[in-house]
Amino acid sequence: MNDTELPPLDAAVLPPGIRSRFVPGVNGMRMHVLEAGFETLYRPLVLLMHGFPELAYSWRKIMVPLAAAGFHVVAPDQRGYGRTTGWDPDYDGDLGSYRLLNLARDTLGLMTAIGYRSAAAVIGHDFGASVAAWCALVRPDVFHSVALMSAPFAGPPALPEAAANRSAGEDIHAALAALPRPRKHYQWYYSTRPANADMHGCPQGVHDFLRAYFHHKSADWADNKPYPLASWTAPELAKMPTYYIMDRDRNMAEMVAAEMPLAAEIAACRWLPDHELAVYAEEYGRTGFQGGLQWYRVRTSGRFEGELQLFAGRTIDVPSLFIAGKSDWGTYQRPGAIERMQDAACTQMVGCHLLDGAGHWVQQEQPEAVTELLVQFLRRAKG
């Protein structure tokens, strides 16, 4: 079976009320989506954009409750992920197709292809929060509100001319490598050629790699006790766990293997039992991770920064919301970002919530609390 013949996701792995289908002709792709609230026409549209290493499936716990609140809820496998096809899987391929403005174009194209001219909200988690933020920034006439999860949006990059007289600062990578315990930043590791093979072909297998990765970044890992960092300097960044600031000479599969939960911990994990993790493992076992890793390469290469600088100084002026777990280092991995989001980047931010009992996977770890906040926000934004 080739990728264009992939069937929808098996209904047996989905909660009742969610369907899997394909939407052809979306910016050159055949996009796989999960959908709830589709039975009634003319409902307000809510789009859910996942991060890494996630899928549309990552929204399964909140889709039906959002639909019950009166919305048509659509979650795609984004470019580079899952059962969506038509994206370039090659490390040496078309990196530009993964740039943020094209990912926002994917979102606009999906909305149009399913028959809408606007969306009540675009909601993003992790790297999907960047996509959601840029949708709201560039097309506020189309995306009427935005909710960001686990990754604060600090605004578009500044023009280099505005920073011409500032000092260049330290080479953060050299400084990390020079620490007494030599380190490296995970985003730059994800941008290397070996990263996909390191994870896809790891000795423990994709299922156990993902189990350890999800566990390590969740509230189940007791040492996730984040706090604001003082600056973008090596000693400060090195305070974060090794899934963000890795040991210099180890890959990500090796880093998380050291934190593999015990069998009893896995059995006790209610937010991601093994039969649900198996859905991720099957998809990533088939596709590998390179599609998602291309997003990081766009960010770390700086090749497409210039087109984002066109929007320097522009703010998100539609109603906005931020949700993250109290045990999520993602809130603080860019020092000052959460403050800039609230003080400058989002002019109509109605709430910033850090939830107990959740790490990075907030909509999976605490779906009821997330749903309650989103429904309140959507109703307020609509009103």
Residues 219 and 311 in one domain: no
Task: Identify whether 126 is a catalytic site residue.
Answer: yes
Q: Which of 293, 325, 345 is the last residue of a domain?
A: 293
> What value, to the nearest 5°, has the Cα angle with vertex 231 and ends 226 and 232?
100
pLDDT of residue 1: 38
Q: What is the pLDDT of residue 166?
A: 55
In a domain, 163, yes or no: no
pLDDT for the residue 133: 98
CATH of the domain at 338: 3.40.50.1820
Q: What is the pLDDT of residue 159?
A: 95
173 given a catalytic annotation = no
Whether residue 2 lies inside any domain: the answer is no
Residue ranges of the chain with per-residue pLDDT less than 70:
1-4, 163-169, 383
The span from the CA of 48 to the CA of 58, in Å, is 10
Q: For the chain, what percent of residues have pLDDT higher than 90?
A: 95
Nearest to 179 by CA among 240, 113, 114: 240
Domain-embedded: residue 234: yes
353 assigned to some structural domain: yes
Instruction: Write down the pLDDT at residue 126.
Output: 98
2-47: pLDDT as tens digits: 556 799 999 999 999 999 999 999 999 999 999 999 999 999 999 9
Give the active site residue among 32, 50, 125, 360: 360
Query: Residue 164: its pLDDT value, please?
Result: 55
Please report, as a single letter, which amino acid is at residue 88: D
Same domain assignment for residues 197 and 274: yes
- Give a yes or no: residue 1 inside a domain: no
Residue 77 lies in a domain: yes
DSSP of 285-317: HHH-SHHHHHHHHHHHH-TTHHHHHTTTT--B-
Looking at the structure, tell me whether residues 286 and 337 fall in a common domain: no
Is 298 within a domain?
no
Alpha helices in the chain (DSSP H): 60-68, 100-113, 127-138, 172-177, 186-190, 195-200, 205-216, 234-237, 252-257, 263-268, 274-287, 290-301, 305-309, 337-340, 362-365, 367-382
**Do residues 281 and 203 share a domain?**
yes
**pTM surpassing 0.95?**
yes
Residue where a domain stops, chosen among 293, 324, 348: 293
299 in Cβ contact with 131 (< 8 Å): no
Same domain, 323 and 350: yes
Answer yes or no: do 53 and 143 share one domain: yes
Q: Of 77, 88, 106, 126, which residue is the catalytic one? A: 126
**Number of structural domains, the chain?**
2
Q: Same structural domain for residues 235 and 112? A: no
Q: Which residue type, as a one-letter code, is found at position 177?
A: A
* Structural domain ending residue among the three candidates 293, 313, 347: 293
Quick one: pLDDT at residue 255? 98
Q: Are residues 270 and 314 in the same domain?
A: no
- Could you tell me if 41 and 110 lie in one domain? yes
Q: Give phi and psi for 349, each to the nearest 5.
A: -75, 120
pLDDT tens sequence across 55-83: 999 999 999 999 999 999 999 999 999 99
Domain of 362 in residue numbering reads as 7-157+305-382
Are residues 101 and 187 both part of a single domain? no
- Amino acid, single-letter form, for residue 297: R
The answer to whether position 165 is within a domain reads no
Residues 43, 148: one domain? Answer: yes
Report pLDDT for 3.
Answer: 57
Indicate if 193 and 110 belong to the same structural domain. Answer: no
pLDDT at residue 252, rounded to an integer: 98
